[in-house]
Chains A and B, each alone.
Chain A
Amino acid sequence: MDPAARPLVSLRGVSKTYQAKKGTPVQALTDITLDVAEGEVVTLVGPSGCGKSTLLRLLGGLHMPTEGEMLLAGQRHTGPSHRIGIVYQQPLLLPWKNVIENVLVPIRVRRAKLAPYRERAKELLTVLGLDSFAASYPHQLSGGMQQRVGIARALIQDPEILLMDEPFGALDAMTRDTLTVELLRIHEEFRTTIAFVTHSIAESVLLADRVVVMTPRPGRVAQVLPVGLPRPRTLKDVNSERFGQYAGEVRAILDEHLADHTKAVA
């Protein structure tokens, strides 16, 4: 990371409190300060309910922070933007549209000219191994293929940052591995900045330039761990000694804070 470079995304003291319908407000995130550099892959890992998905939704402009400031390329970030692509846990395709039309939904919403993006959509489908399925409908695809379409849809606007909220969480282990490798390849090809939420330690280490480990509720950044594994990476890296060390470190940080949390609750 070039320290002189302006971060693409910058969070300054961001907190988020939800007002529940009844009862006390829920503090989901506390004082998050985090920079994401251009081209970097940052993974957010933490126990369930630590607010990592909330953090991603703040980045996506879907929610506004209660406190603090968010900057996107130096400008205040105040809502949804076509400069951001989001991949959700579910593919969330529209069952009445075929694959290529699903990929083009963001363009239709933006009311941009479709023709150039149609070409781009075809390219993306080729990159994701879906070129022969452009005219298929979602119900004709497997879960893994549907999520590839979800990724293509997020990439169609050439976003500056790709936000991924446990995108492979609903898939079986083998498909999950395949898509993780594919994501590594996509990152090699497009150098897209990625923020990736997961609760899999292996996934977080394999993908990341930096792993952001979060504490249980209220979510704080426990530690940011740089991962020095050389790129391009493959699934084989999971078996390397250095990978094991990184994964062990993440596990240790998580355990430490989980223990604190249990003590505090007890």
Chain B
Amino acid sequence: MSAVQKQTVPSAEAMSRSGRGLVAVGQLVSRVGPFLGLVVILLAGWEAIVRLLDVPRYTLPPPMEVVTALVNGVTSGVLVTHTWVTLQEVLLGFGLAILFATVIAAVVTRWELIERAFMPLIVALQAVPKVALAPLLLTWFGFGMTSKVVTTALLAFFPLLINLIAGIQSADRDRMEMFRGLGATKWQTFRMLQMPAALPYFFAGLKIALTFSIIGAIVAEFVGAQAGLGYMIQLSSTNLNVATTFAVLVILSAIGMTLTSLIGWLGAKVVFWQGKGLDAISGS
């Protein structure tokens, strides 16, 4: 920055360019600065409390130990293996949930009879706390990955289904009528109007479903597993290796943030028209 200020070239263009560069750096600092500052303060506070109050390591390890546990876990490959297991469970369950929710939403919104038959059931099932089914799913599907994938899928399924149904039904009456006026079949109307109109709802549902997927995988591993990050949390906390427990939490949060921003990025690409001041495509 000082180099920029010392620049003696008086070219207006160069000045404005460097000026713009400065502005960009300034914007970045003002955007992330407060957050980074807070993180530093929190970590420092954490370290200080642990040292000053002489908190035992098995209660709360200092941040540096968590970092060490993380680095050791990654370099030894232990955490990588378990991360990969959980990631597979999350992605498989998430994928299954998307598949089933899409098909069922399409069927339910297509035939009114099916909607009337199934909607009360869906609402009733949605009211069941799905994590409560994890022990049952364990006895049905065993200690392997299957029971975790099923639990994950079950948790992610409902928010997706509810959002997709709302999205498909969000196509406004006027556009529905326009398609009717063109002589479109129900399937054409679904494919060309209702499905694209549901996309903003779908992506909103994906974000919720992702959080639920991670919860599903971890809870299912808690109930009974031989691998995965949930298993690691249990193992390390029983062994009073709390630094590793924290390291796993850091990994979980990183997985969640990465996948959420991936979905957000994809959503913005796909649903590029959203919120662009158009005559209402969906009931406001």
Binding site for B on A (CB under 8 A): 60-62, 79-82, 84, 86, 88, 90-96, 105-106, 108-110, 137-139, 146, 170
B195 to chain A, nearest CB (A): 10
Chain A residues with CB below 8 A from B174, complex form: 88, 90, 92
Q: Let me know if A95 and B184 touch, CB within 8 A.
A: no
Query: Are B192 and A92 in contact, with the CB atoms below 8 A?
Result: no
In the bound complex, residues from chain A placing their C-beta under 8 Å from that of B277 are: 139
Residue of B nearest to A106 (CB): B182
- Using known A-B contacts A138-B278, A139-B273, A139-B276, determine if residue A94 contacts B193 with beta carbons closer than 8 Å: yes
A9 to B279 alpha-carbon distance, docked (Å): 32
Kindly list chain B residues whose C-beta atoms are within 8 Å of the C-beta of A146. 279
Contact call A105/B192, Cβ cutoff below 8 A? yes
**14 new A-B contacts at CB < 8 Å, known A62-B180, A88-B177:** A60-B181, A80-B183, A82-B182, A82-B183, A88-B178, A93-B278, A94-B192, A96-B196, A96-B273, A105-B182, A109-B182, A110-B183, A138-B278, A139-B276
- Cβ of B181 and Cβ of A86 under 8 Å apart? yes
Q: Mark B74-100, 1 if CB is under 8 A from A, else 0.
A: 000000000000000000000000000
- B181→A62 contact, CB < 8 A: yes
Q: Spell out B's residues near A (CB within 8 Å).
A: 174-175, 177-184, 188, 192-193, 196, 199, 272-273, 276-279, 281
Closest Cβ of chain B: how far from A109's Cβ, in Å? 5
In the assembled complex, the Cα of A82 lies from the Cα of B183 at a distance in Å of: 8
A-B CB contact pairs (8 Å), 15 listed: A62-B180, A80-B181, A80-B183, A81-B183, A82-B182, A88-B177, A90-B279, A94-B193, A96-B196, A96-B273, A105-B182, A109-B188, A137-B273, A139-B273, A146-B279
Nearest CB of chain A from residue B277's CB, rounded to whole Å: 7
| Residues of B contacting A95 in the complex (Cβ-Cβ under 8 angstroms) | 273, 276, 278, 281
Please give the distance in Å from A210's CB to the nearest CB on chain B. Answer: 24
**How many angstroms between the C-alpha atoms of A109 and B188 in the bound complex?**
7
* Cβ-closest 5 pairs across A and B: A139-B276, A95-B273, A80-B183, A109-B182, A109-B184
Minimum CB–CB distance for B177 against chain A, Å: 6
Chain B residue at minimal CB-CB distance from A89: B174
B191 to chain A, nearest CB (A): 10
A61 x B181 contact (CB < 8 A): yes
Partner of B183, one of A91, A93, A109: A109
- From the candidates B177, B192, B273, B278, name the one contacting A109 in the complex (CB within 8 A): B192
Q: Give CA–CA (A260, B178) in the complex, Å.
A: 36
**Are the CB atoms of A92 and B178 closer together than 8 Å?**
yes
Residue of B nearest to A143 (CB): B279
In the complex the two chains form, is A94's CB within 8 Å of B183's CB?
no
Kindly name the residue among B180, B182, B188, B277 whose own CB sees the greatest number of chain A CB atoms within 10 A.
Answer: B182
- Nearest CB on B from A152, distance (A): 14
| A62 & B177 in contact (Cβ 8 Å cutoff) | yes
Note all chain A residues with C-beta closer than 8 A to B182: 80, 82, 105-106, 109-110
Chain A residues, CB < 8 A from B183:
79-82, 109-110
Find chain B residues with CB under 8 A from A60 CB: 181
List of A residues within 8 angstroms of B199 by Cβ: 96
In angstroms, Cα B188 to Cα A81, docked, is 16
Chain B residues positioned under 8 Å from A105 (CB to CB): 182, 192
- Alpha-carbon distance A241/B23, docked complex (angstroms): 64
B279 near A91 (CB under 8 angstroms)? yes
B180 near A80: Cβ-Cβ < 8 Å: yes
In the complex, what residue of chain B is closest to A84 when comparing beta carbons? Answer: B181
CA distance A61 to B183 in the complex (A): 9
Contact A92 B175 (CB under 8 A): yes
Kindly report which residue of chain A lies nearest to residue B277, judged by CB atoms. Answer: A139
Residues of A within 8 A of B278 (CB): 93, 95, 138-139
A137 to B183, CA, bound (A): 25
A85 to chain B, nearest CB (A): 9
Residues of B within 8 A of A82 (CB): 182-183
Q: Which residues of B contact A137 (CB under 8 A)?
A: 272-273
Q: How far is the CA of A105 from the CA of B193 in the complex (A)?
A: 10
Q: How far is the CA of A95 from the CA of B282 in the complex (A)?
A: 11
User: Complex: how many Å from CA A110 to CA B192?
Assistant: 13
**A109 lies within 8 A of B178 (CB):** no
- Chain A residues positioned under 8 Å from B180 (CB to CB): 62, 80
A109 contacts across to B, CB distance below 8 A: 179, 182-184, 188, 192
Whether the pair A86, B273 counts as a contact (CB closer than 8 A) is no
Given A108-B192, A139-B273: A92 and B279 interface contact (C-beta under 8 Å): yes
- Which one of A79, A88, A138, A170 lies within 8 Å of B273 (CB-CB)? A138
